[in-house]
């Protein structure tokens, strides 16, 4: 992740990146790091099964068996 952040790319993809992290870092990842990237104009695609942080997203895309089932705007994007 450090290399990706240092490269300052316009798009970041995190596939279950916070899943195996400790609870404190997981909260930091979703409530501090991702909003900071968004504020810097970055596009972030974060894949997660952890519905506690869905409210941190601009959009929540639900998939089942490899198919998109729904695309919803998050309530406020403010986080938990």
What is the residue range of 48's domain?
2-73
Q: What is the pLDDT of residue 76?
A: 54
Per-residue pLDDT of the chain (80 residues; tens, 9 = 90+): 788 888 999 999 999 888 888 889 999 999 999 999 999 999 999 999 888 888 889 999 999 999 999 999 876 544 45
Number of domains in the chain: 1
**Model pTM score:** 0.76
In a domain, 45, yes or no: yes
CATH of the domain at 52: 3.40.50.300
Q: What is the pLDDT of residue 77?
A: 47
In a domain, 8, yes or no: yes
Q: Collapse the DSSP code of 68 into the 3-class scheme (helix H, G, I; strand E, B; otherwise coil) and give the result.
A: strand
- Find out whether 18 and 30 touch, Cβ atoms under 8 Å: yes
List CB contacts of 51: < 8 A, sequence separation 6 or more.
Answer: none
In a domain, 20, yes or no: yes
């Amino acid at each position: 992740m450090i290399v990706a952040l240092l490269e300052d790319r316009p798009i970041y993809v995190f596939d279950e990146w916070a899943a195996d992290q400790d609870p404190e870092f997981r909260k930091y990842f979703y409530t501090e790091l991702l909003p900071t990237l968004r504020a810097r104009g970055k596009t972030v695609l974060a894949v997660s099964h952890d519905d506690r942080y869905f409210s941190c997203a601009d959009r929540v895309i639900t998939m089942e068996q490899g198919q998109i089932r729904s695309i919803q705007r998050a309530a406020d994007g403010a986080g938990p």
